[in-house]
Amino acid sequence: MKSPSQPRDRGIPEATVARLPLYLRALHGMAERGVATVSSEDLAAAAGVNSAKLRKDLSHLGSYGTRGVGYEVEYLVYQISRELGLTQDWAVAIVGVGNLGRALANYGGFVSRGFRVAALVDADPEVVGDTIAGLNVEHIDELEAVIKRRGVSIVVLATPAAAAQEVCERVIAVGVTSILNFAPVVLSVPDGVDVRKVDLSIELQILAFHEQRKAGGPLMAVDSQ
């Protein structure tokens, strides 16, 4: 338990970052089941990746394993959490309280670790004032004020496509630099602002592509011309 060589490369590959939450989830499950120690092989299986990749990923954070034994679950949970910035509390605002926004507000996974839905905002006077998931829905005119007042640093866009770019610009103007976008548009943002996009219909289209291939099969007798 001595201080393990300062390893933080300050440069963790993007692909690795994207997998850390996966490992974290698997580790949480193990911690709950009382597992104290886990090998790269087992953890990799639980996370659905291969063990070499997992080891290389973890090696980017430092040498937190013990050769011949594996990784201490609790310790690794802490290290990954810290690396991902989950040891602090992130205030999230959800803009757009339609079906999707509502689902997100109620989604347990958000609140669980590190994130807190701090504000709900919508333009429709019909829903402004309603209470959803214990929160009062505020009017879009209050957007900037709410973000500042609640210390929101991550904004989730669940608005109609047409509204997304404008909302995006407004929140950036008051200092937000992390946006999770569910609206089916390409947002244009200045450098330094991070946008991640979740697009349900794109995922379906990718599935359809593969499904079509399978249906045709290797000896596809379709309209090959």
Contacts to DNA by CB under 7 A: 13-16, 39-41, 49-53, 55-56, 58-59, 63-71
Q: Which of residues 6-45 bind a copy of itself (CB under 8 A)?
A: 6, 17-18, 20-22, 24-26
Between 62 and 114, name the residue whose CB sits nearer to DNA: 62
Closer of 70 and 114 to a copy of itself (Cβ): 114
Residues 6+ apart with CB under 8 A from 116: 89, 90, 91, 92
Q: Is 50 in the site for a copy of itself (CB under 8 A)?
A: no
Burial label for 162, CB within 10 Å (0-12, 13-18, 19+), is: exposed
- Closest distance between DNA and the C-beta of residue 199, in Å? 16
Of the two residues 70 and 184, which places its CB atom closer to DNA in the complex?
70
* Residue 129 touches which member of DNA, a copy of itself, none, C-beta under 5-8 Å by kind: none
| From DNA, a copy of itself, none, interface partner of 178 (C-beta below 5 to 8 A by class) | a copy of itself
- 153-212: which residues touch a copy of itself (CB under 8 A)? 153-154, 177-180, 184, 186, 188, 192, 194, 196, 198-212
Closest approach, Cβ 200 to DNA, in A, equals 21
Q: Would you put residue 164 in left (φ > 0), alpha (ψ -120 to 50) or beta?
A: alpha
Q: How far is the CB of 39 from DNA (least distance, A)?
A: 4
User: Tokens 């330094």 sit at which residue?
Assistant: 192
User: Which of 71, 110 has the CB closer to a copy of itself?
Assistant: 110
